[in-house]
Amino acid sequence: MADWQEITGGITAPRGYQAAGITAGLKPSGLPDLALIFSEVEAIAAGVFTTSQVKAACVDYCRQRLQAKQSARAILCNAGQANAATGNQGWFDALESALAIAQALNISSESVLLASTGVIGQRIKMDALRSGIPKVVAALSETGSDAAAGAIITTDLVTKSIALETTIGDRPVRIGGIAKGSGMIHPNMATMLAFVTCDAVVSPHLWQQMLARAADRSFNSITVDGDTSTNDSLIALANGQSRTPAIIEWGAEAEKLEAMLIAVCQHLAKAIARDGEGATCLIEVEVTGAHDELSARQIAKTIAGSSLVKSAIFGRDPNWGRIAAAAGRAGVPFEQENLQIKLGNFLMLENGQPLTFDRAAASAYLKKAATGAYLQQDTVLISVNVGNGYGVGKAWGCDLSYDYVKINAEYTT
């Protein structure tokens, strides 16, 4: 059993954090579009960002800030305009945004991190942002997580939030998180934003290492459509307000904290994959028997990202041949005679040989997932074994429906 429990509160569940989300007039829809996360004290900060060569100004800004100083107090996120591919003026807009929120909070601009999401090629509506900053600061609250989660979404159908609590040094330690993402989702990373808060005391070096590993096992293991975007940001703060002993080297306490961080990130990652544009179910692929974890994850991600596999799941077609084909092209060597494939509890291939199975029942299993409760009974499980190795890896995706094309064909119109 997990050595933690789920609690309420989301991003503000850990001690010493406030959050807010307001409507500043950045989105044409008039929905909430400006979020702020604030630590009452300076917090250790870590980040993982898009690997795209085309990056939003906020990504370049955060990378520079974190290279200079691995701490922060505030994260400001605007939704509506990505501020990516906007040239020098986009960079100046980012600098102005950081300075404006810093002045409103009476902190140094060096303690501000930024995130943006929306249409690529569009600058932030700075007039709306300027007028919204005093309002979002005034709205800060220890119960503001839901408002912040609602203000960062774009095409998402639901908000994404989680908080967990464990015990370190006989004191409670909490990690909370919110995220957004629905389309342009693919490993390394995706059109996703994720913000994590923690009240443990942890060294900057360890915190960055933990976050990078957590990203690999969560946000870098999901795919919706094979497209990586320009604004992907995973930012995590640890402010030490739990008053627990400092975690400065690897050991049992660091291992426990990282395991809980991974659990938070995986929950948010699965929520993003399940909320894929037009999706009707979540797909979870587990690969065992590979040479190492990296190889297993590579096979799992290839299967989860296969358009043919995703289309078959949407059509409720238990076509295991597509799963086998995706596994075979993942770039990971394995012996075909060792291959085993299961869809839910239906064993379809064993030792590289096809088996007779109840096709109607397997199709019914897929149909049931499409009507199941969100992130509970709505998951299609694909299990693949490729040999006798110790490598185990998971990846998550969603089915590919007609609505995905409609949503993205009309995205800017």
Query: Which two structure tokens, joined as six digits, stand for 373?
Result: 């409760």
Establish whether 191 is a catalytic residue.
yes
Q: How far apart are CA 345 and CA 383, in angstroms?
A: 9
Alpha helix ranges (H) inside 71-125: 87-105
Do 308 and 323 touch, CB atoms closer than 8 A? no
Q: How far apart are CA 9 and CA 244, in angstroms?
A: 20
Of the residues 154, 159, 166, 191, only one is catalytic, namely: 191
Segment holding 132, helix H or strand E: helix 126-138
DSSP string, 263-317: HHHHHHHHHHHHT-TT--SEEEEEEEEESSHHHHHHHHHHHHH-HHHHHHHHTT-
Q: How far apart are CA 312 and CA 400, in angstroms?
A: 8
Query: What three-state secondary structure class fits 383?
Result: strand
Q: How far apart are CA 407 and CA 277, in angstroms?
A: 7
Active site residue ranges: 191
